[in-house]
Amino acid sequence: MTQAGKTRLDDFDIKILQLVQFDSLMPQHEISDRVGLSAAAVARRLKRLSSTGIIRKDMSISNERAVGSPQTVIVEVTAKNGKPHLLDGMKRRFLNCPQVQQCYHVTGGADFILIINTRGMDEYTFLTRQLFFQEGNVKSFRTRVMMEEVKSADPIPL
């Protein structure tokens, strides 16, 4: 069990997490006002939540269109061979590709689900050659082009 799995969350921790999941840039004094703790207590709790792995990272989510990467595709990737060292090689390739925003090793018909953001179909076509053809352990991949983002990156319900 990870340290994050061992940490007990009280009502204050949950309230703090709900706030910072929605806005990680919220000032600590505002968090303290909303949850009814001192700013110092909020700072200690945030530090503990981070050090135990409950808060994995703080980040801002950019608008894909505004930064020039409006093309989102969802890709199902099936490996030719399921040997762990070959799958690990695929994972490393996906991890090292900045256009791969999310990567999941899954059960079912595919081995991986990827969420990829690119500047357009030309860049995606180039990426398919790098990610799926060069290393040789990809049996097949299926691409779904996102038409509209309905929901993404919401806070985890607590």
Considering only residues 59 and 54, tell me which one the structure prediction assigns the higher pLDDT: 54
Percentage of the chain with pLDDT > 90?
73
Helix (H, G, I), strand (E, B) or coil at 23: coil
* pLDDT at residue number 128: 95
Highest mean pLDDT among 3-17, 55-69, 109-123: 109-123
Closest CA to 110 of 74, 145, 73, 77: 77
Residue spans per domain, the chain:
9-51, 71-145
Q: Which long-range contacts (CB under 8 A, 24 or more apart) does 29-36 make?
A: 36/12
* Residue 147 pLDDT > 50: yes
Closest CA to 115 of 144, 147, 79, 78: 144
Highest mean pLDDT among 60-74, 126-140, 143-157: 126-140
Q: Quick one: average pLDDT of 36-43?
A: 96
Q: Quick one: average pLDDT of 140-148?
A: 95
- Fold adopted by 71-145: Alpha-Beta Plaits (3.30.70)
Q: Which CATH number does 9-51 carry?
A: 1.10.10.10
pTM for the whole structure: 0.78
